[in-house]
């Protein structure tokens, strides 16, 4: 089991950029993902990246605006968010999958979760 701690959330205006970080308590060799949950909505997968960073997935609503990356030497996962919109407002969570060679697309694939960091985008 790995402990995950997110940071980097905050209040920004529409069109701004923000970078989220997720630091793991130990070496991470699994596929990782970023999820988000807006008030009153279900948690959804935003992006996923395999363990060497060669395969990524983005949900349609963030494709072309968000970039997921990882630095395994620092045990850190990132989510660079550009052109933020009010509908991106949510709590953002990082998670570690049970798998490693390909991206993971389902919440049930992910075994370890962070506590979340809030992102609020004002119009």
Structure confidence at residue 87 (pLDDT): 97
Average pLDDT over residues 67-91: 97
Average pLDDT over residues 64-76: 97
How far is it, in rounded angstroms, from Cα 75 to Cα 51?
11
How far is it, in rounded angstroms, from Cα 43 to Cα 92?
9
Q: Tokens at residue 65, please?
A: 């605006």
Structure confidence at residue 65 (pLDDT): 98
Rounded to the nearest 10 degrees, how much is the dihedral formed by the CA atoms of 65, 43, 118, 26? -90
Smallest CA-to-CA distance from 36 within 71, 98, 79 is with 79
Percentage of the chain exceeding pLDDT 70 = 100
Average pLDDT over residues 28-32: 94
Structure confidence at residue 4 (pLDDT): 98
Structure confidence at residue 1 (pLDDT): 85
Could you count the other beta carbons within 10 Å of the beta carbon of residue 59? Answer: 16
């Amino acid at each position: 089991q790995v402990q995950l701690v997110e940071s980097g959330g905050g209040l920004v205006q529409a069109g701004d950029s923000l970078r989220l970080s997720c630091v793991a308590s130990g070496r991470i060799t699994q596929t990782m993902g970023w999820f988000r949950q807006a008030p009153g909505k279900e948690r959804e997968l935003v992006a996923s990246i395999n363990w060497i960073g060669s395969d990524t997935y983005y949900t349609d609503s963030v494709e072309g605006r968000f970039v997921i990356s990882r630095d395994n030497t620092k045990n850190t996962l990132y989510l660079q968010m550009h052109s933020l919109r009010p509908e991106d407002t949510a709590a953002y969570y990082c998670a570690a999958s049970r798998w490693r060679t390909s991206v993971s697309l389902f919440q049930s694939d992910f075994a370890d979760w962070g506590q979340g960091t809030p992102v609020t985008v004002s119009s």
